[in-house]
Amino acid sequence: MIAHNDLEHCRSVIKTGSLSFHAASKLLPSSVRDPALALYAFCRLADDEVDEGNAKGRAVLDLQERLDLAYRGTPKNAPEDRAFAAIIEEFDMPRALPEALLEGLAWDAVERRYKTLSDVRSYSARVASAVGAMMCVLMRVRDPNALARACDLGVAMQLTNIARDVGEDAHQRRVYLPTDWLQEAGMEIETFFKAPKPTREVRSMVRSLLAEAHRLYIRSEAGISTLPLNARCGIFAARYIYAGISGAVRKNQHDSINFRARTSKATKLRLIGKSAIRAAGTTIMPTSPVIFAAPLPEVKFLVDAAGGTEPKLIGRTESLLDTLAELKSREVHSYSKGIAAE
b/e 171-187 (16+ beta carbons within 10 angstroms → b): eeeebbbbbebbeeeeb
126-158 pLDDT, tens per residue? 999 999 999 999 999 999 999 999 999 999 999
CATH number, domain with residue 110? 1.10.600.10
The answer to whether position 292 is within a domain reads: yes
**Alpha-carbon distance values, 220 to 18, 153, 154, 304 (Å):** 21, 5, 9, 18
**Per-residue pLDDT at 190 exceeds 60:** yes
User: In this predicted model, what pLDDT tens digit does every residue of 34-53 receive, in sequence order?
Assistant: 898 888 888 877 777 777 66
**Lowest pLDDT segment from 58-67, 149-158, 212-221:** 58-67
Residue 89 lies in a domain: yes
Residue 215 CA: distances (Å) to CA of 146, 186, 235? 17, 27, 17
The C-alpha angle with vertex 44 and arms to 69 and 262, in degrees rounded to 5, equals 170
Mean pLDDT of the chain: 89
Is residue 139 included in any domain, yes or no? yes
How far, rounded to the nearest angstrom, does the alpha carbon of residue 85 sit from its chain's CA centroid? 20
Cα–Cα distances in angstroms (integers) from residue 247 to residues 80, 160, 207, 254, in the given order: 33, 10, 11, 9
Pick 304 or 325 by higher pLDDT.
304
- What average pLDDT does this structure show over 163-185? 96
Burial of 285 (0-12, 13-18, 19+ CB in 10 A): exposed
26 band by pLDDT with thresholds 50, 70 and 90:
confident
What is the model's pLDDT at position 314?
46
Torsion, Cα of 222, 140, 82, 99 (10° steps): -60
Of 38-52, 71-85, 270-284, the one with minimum mean pLDDT is 38-52
**What is the band of 18 on the pLDDT scale with cuts at 50, 70, 90?**
low
The pTM of the whole model exceeds 0.85: yes
What's the mean pLDDT in 25-33? 85
- In the chain, the number of structural domains is 1
Examine residue 305 and state whether it is found in any structural domain, yes or no. Answer: yes
> b or e along 30-51 (b: 16 or more beta carbons within 10 Å of the residue's beta carbon)?
eebbbbbbbbbbbbbbbbebbe
Domain span at residue 49 reads 4-312
In whole angstroms, what is the distance from residue 166 CA to residue 184 CA? 18
* Structural domain contains residue 318: no
Q: Is residue 328 part of a domain?
A: no
Task: List the single range of 142-146, 175-179, 270-274, 329-333 with lowest mean pLDDT.
Answer: 329-333
User: Is 204 inside a domain boundary?
Assistant: yes
Quick check: is 280 in a domain?
yes
